[in-house]
């Protein structure tokens, strides 16, 4: 391996970084938390299901990494502050944030009740806002740069019937991502988003196991769901020095699905 190849490989490394991952107990959050650890980051795994986090932490530790399981309800603002305090004390100040926690409760607009709208916005948008604000305040105070990655959605770019609340929450998060990128760049903090298309996770696995779900995927431009490992490369680009001049971007990882929605 020549020096240029080594330098390129090293630019994607996360050695010395502290990652704070929400919704790390399954799906996208779990996959990317593991990828961050394998790239050298110390990883704070946060979610409500702490038993799942402990299992993932054991996997990371067995591979020679360092991870901390932290129980967190991202809709509790005070709990976010406590979680950051715990992580800072045990791993260091988080400088890589992955806002991944989310919920989806499909319903037509006229059948979406107030409670569903409020819980969707609280988890998908407000929680990411609060986590980002807490992280950025600490990084600015410490005069350190960092990277914030928000998991938005292809449905935050184009919409589909039955997903009004979810689409609105993810579109709001995408716009907040751009606003943060504009304001935080002066502090050396980059803010970007990843807009996944359809990936089979616990949130939708029952639907995609049905004939209707299989037929739906076949009609999408890629004709299939994404594989979680296909999110790793994009996430590492945005997290690492390889993406040092990438800021304010919503990176679609959807096999081109968004092109058919806009």
Give the residue numbers annotated as catalytic, written as ranges.
166
Contacts of 172 by beta carbon, 8 Å cutoff, 6+ apart: 121, 125, 156
């Amino acid at each position: 391996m020549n020096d240029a190849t080594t330098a390129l490989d090293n630019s994607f490394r996360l050695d010395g970084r502290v990652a704070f991952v929400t919704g790390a107990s399954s799906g996208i959050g779990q996959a990317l938390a593991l990828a961050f650890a394998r790239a050298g980051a110390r990883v704070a795994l946060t979610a409500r299901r702490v038993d799942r986090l402990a299992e993932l932490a054991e996997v990371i530790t067995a591979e020679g990494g360092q991870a901390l399981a932290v129980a967190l309800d991202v809709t509790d603002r005070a709990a976010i502050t406590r979680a950051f305090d715990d992580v800072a004390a045990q791993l260091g100040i988080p400088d890589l944030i992955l806002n991944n926690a989310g919920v989806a409760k499909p319903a037509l607009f006229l059948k979406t009740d107030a409670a569903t709208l409020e819980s969707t916005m609280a988890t998908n948008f407000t929680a990411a806002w609060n986590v980002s604000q807490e992280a950025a305040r600490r990084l600015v105070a410490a005069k350190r740069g960092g990277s914030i990655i928000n998991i938005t959605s292809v449905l935050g770019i184009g919409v589909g019937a039955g997903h009004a609340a979810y689409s609105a929450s993810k579109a709001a998060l995408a716009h907040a991502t751009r606003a943060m990128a504009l304001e935080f760049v002066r502090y050396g903090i980059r803010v970007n988003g990843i807009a996944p298309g359809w990936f089979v996770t616990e949130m939708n696995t029952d639907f995609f196991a049905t004939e209707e779900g299989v037929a739906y995927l076949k009609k999408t431009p890629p004709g299939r769901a994404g594989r979680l490992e296909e999110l790793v490369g994009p996430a590492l680009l945005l997290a690492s020095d390889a993406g040092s001049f990438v800021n304010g971007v919503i990176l679609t990882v959807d096999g081109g699905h968004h092109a058919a929605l806009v």
